[in-house]
Amino acid sequence: MTKVKFGLRIPAFPVDGSTGKAFINQVTQFINELKQDFSSAWVCDHFVPWANFVSETAPNLEGFTSVAYLSGMFRNLTFGNIVLCNSYRNPALLAKMAATLQALTGGRFVLGIGAGWKQDEYVAYGYPFPPPKVRIQQLEEAVQIIKKMWTEEKATFKGRYYQIKEAVCSPKPEPVPPLMIGGGGEKMTLKVVARHADWWNLPNVSPSIYQQKLSVLKRHCGNIGRSVSEIVKTLANIVAIAETEEEARRSASHSPFIDMDKEENYIIGSPETVTEKISEYTKIGVELFILRFVDFPKTDGAKLFAEKVIPAFA
């Protein structure tokens, strides 16, 4: 089988009503118990909990700060965000932040970024919320600025939405972090992925939908003379795994993160079933899985996955 990598999706908010301090302990203990089994860890980028079953006043960790702190604690893991909202940070500043974190971690950072979507969060924090077309155009300008800042002595860019003039970013990141762009919009977002991404991420889709999106991405790449093989394909997904099918399905049905009417979009089952599902994705070309386990803050599911699924792909 194809050798692939597995990363942990680290929740940014508690699912059991824990306070901030208790939740932070949950996060650090979770990573500590699994740090030898997974290659990377990932935090989303929201100011308040994105799930509608959690109070908006519940503790919620800011994405970039969390990655910076956790990467200092757990030095064998690569860290990234899944994914940063472009609108929330000036792209030149983000390039500087990312370069600094890459230097401090010794090259263990991946810059994940997307166009943003959560309108109520934009409004609450005072950010303009333009139409999707504009947000995607802003994303494309931003990633060009970021790459210039990382690779040019003095970067200049004049776009419709962003401008920089002889901006210095020193030290330069060594190596240059992979730029992972998240999203599956076929008309615009995947064109941005084709033109600029080192990695591509798609969340919570079935193998058939992933294949469809990948075919569109391949077409966009072909239109600009780029091979889609240059782009690392990643999938973010939610896992409900247990020793038996019955236990796994029961766990999935009780999870507010899984819609059982669309269970084909998730990874649910015994270790054997989960291995088969992972194999379906790897045959399409998925190289990195970023996984959220439904029994967090417990580690039973992730440990079972590590013990009985990951070895099949070593």
Helix (H, G, I), strand (E, B) or coil at 93: helix
Task: Quick: pLDDT tens for 126-150.
Answer: 999 999 999 999 999 999 999 999 9
Collect all residues with Cβ–Cβ distance below 8 Å to 18 and sequence separation of at least 6.
Answer: 26, 59
Task: In whole angstroms, give the CA distance from residue 118 to residue 91.
Answer: 19
Q: What domains does the chain contain, in order, with CATH numbers?
A: 5-234 (3.20.20.30)
Answer whether 9's CB lies under 8 Å from 292's CB: yes
Task: Quick: pLDDT tens for 23-82.
Answer: 999 999 999 999 999 999 999 999 999 998 999 999 999 999 999 999 999 999 999 999
Task: In whole angstroms, give the CA distance from residue 223 to residue 194.
Answer: 9
Answer whether 139's CB lies under 8 Å from 132's CB: no
Task: Quick: pLDDT tens for 88-141.
Answer: 999 999 999 999 999 999 999 999 999 999 999 999 999 999 999 999 999 999
Task: Quick: pLDDT tens for 7-33.
Answer: 999 999 999 999 999 999 999 999 999
What is the residue-averaged pLDDT of the chain? Answer: 97
**3 confidence band (pLDDT: 50, 70, 90):** confident
